[in-house]
Amino acid sequence: MKTLGKYSIGMGDRFGHQGAAQLKAIIDAGKKGVDITPVWNKSNREHNTIGTQPEDVRTEADSVTKKTGFKSLYFVDADHINLDTVDRFIKSSDFFTIDVASYIGKKADDDDINTFVAGAKKYSGELRIPGIRKSMEVSEQKIREIANKYLFAAIKAWEIFRKIEKTKGSGNFITEVSMDEVPDPQTPVELFFILKMLGEESVPVQTIAPKFSGRFNKGVDYVGDPDKFEEEFEADLMVIDFAIHEFGLPGNLKMSVHSGSDKFTIYPIIGKVIKKHNKGIHLKTAGTTWLEEVIGLAESGGKALDFVKEIYSESLEKIDELCAPYADVIDINISKLPSKSDISAWSSKKLADSLRHIPGNKDYNPNMRQLVHVAYKLAAMRMDVYFKLLKANEKTVAQCVYENMYDRHICRLFNIK
């Protein structure tokens, strides 16, 4: 049976050029004693926008691991798939992020709900989870409310899992269940009963991605109360630990944090808590690889710098169109976006520093960074030019991607000096 390593990182690479730079960060972490399983991921939306296929991600992952002689496990993730999109990913993927967000809130059959509530009644009253100081008050009505909200989603997770299993075979892929792209975070009590549902549906989930409180905007830092996040994160870890034994879930089930990248404020918190309890983590870093490519081109100057300025200027003109699909995960203050004429005279350093996420840098502009993050569609429309520039400036671009992954993500999360 395929199992995920204790520590794993989901690495987005929208244009498929930075696998080697990403893998170098993983290898260098291993030299420091932190073994991380790389998981290349790309969503259906990204494939459609760029015009690629899931097989392209498999080709990239196989190629760079072979070229570097990487002998450890690695995976290719069908990112945020559901019943409508899973088919095109089945052949080339061996990790499936089953996204049940669209099914949450839809009601299962009354018989299914009644059966679940009857089986869960024994947890009503004062529910105590080892490792959580406060007990949780659970009524039968609360259990029914949770079933009404989540049971249908758990059933759909099983349907998607079985569809994959019929082709891939039992034990030949990693299953993640994702619930993070919804308006409200799940409470530890809700997570407990969701895991019971997945156990009863026999979904061998190895990672679970709940939604946490606070905002996880794309490409920028966490917005919220770090202390509240820590309490929530630790409680969820304890719930997972208890649920493994209580519901017969895989022993290596671990938390997955869909960070949207660059959650520098909470990376040390996550690292501290998983070390305290000796737990694993799966961190999905989203698409900031594209941003680092842009930064590398800006640093390179000449035609590459001109290209970045053109992409940014066009993104200003098409801001509504570009931002609409990401409305829930970006927060751009338009008044703080420099104009086309503003950036026309900017140097390589000024533009790169404005886009690169270095806390404390006076030039860093999170509004620009978020806008460029969602503007990859514009580069996809000029792919021949973009790829030529990436190739011509490969060393600079790859170094930006590596430093972002290793220095700003891996070292912060795992406290590597």
- pLDDT tens digits, one per residue of 373-412: 999 999 999 999 999 999 999 999 999 999 999 999 999 9
Phi, psi of 271, rounded to the nearest 5 degrees: -60, -40
Q: What does 26-62 look like in DSSP terms, one character per residue?
A: HHHHHHTT--EEEEEEEEHHHHHHHT--HHHHHHHHH
Q: What is the mean pLDDT of residues 73-83?
A: 96
| pLDDT attached to residue 286 | 55
The whole-chain average pLDDT of the chain stands at 96
More confident residue, 288 or 298: 298
| DSSP secondary structure code for residue 250 in this structure | -
Q: Are 130 and 237 in contact (CB under 8 A)?
A: no
At residue 88's C-alpha, the angle toward residues 84 and 89, to 5°, is 100
Q: Are 234 and 252 in contact (CB under 8 A)?
A: no
pLDDT higher than threshold 60 for residue 83: yes
Q: Are 19 and 63 in contact (CB under 8 A)?
A: yes
pLDDT tens figures, 387-396:
999 999 999 9
pLDDT tens figures, 19-43:
999 999 999 999 999 999 999 999 9
Give the other-Cβ count within 10 Å of 179's Cβ: 24
Q: Are 163 and 210 in contact (CB under 8 A)?
A: no
CATH topology for the 7-286 domain = TIM Barrel (3.20.20)
pLDDT tens figures, 110-131:
999 999 999 999 999 999 999 9
| pLDDT attached to residue 288 | 85
What are the extents of the domains in the chain? 7-286, 289-400
Contacts of 362 (CB under 8 A, 6+ apart): none
| pLDDT attached to residue 323 | 97
End-to-end CA distance of the chain: 35
Q: Are 93 and 76 in contact (CB under 8 A)?
A: yes
Specify the pTM. Answer: 0.96
> Scanning the structure block, which residue is given the tokens 């996809």?
380
What pLDDT band is residue 364 in, cutting at 50, 70 and 90? very high
pLDDT tens figures, 181-204:
888 999 999 999 999 999 999 999
Q: Are 256 and 207 in contact (CB under 8 A)?
A: yes
Q: What is the mean pLDDT of residues 253-258?
A: 97
- Distance between CA 154 and CA 145 in Å, rounded? 14
pLDDT higher than threshold 60 for residue 287: no
Q: What percent of the chain has pLDDT over 90?
A: 96
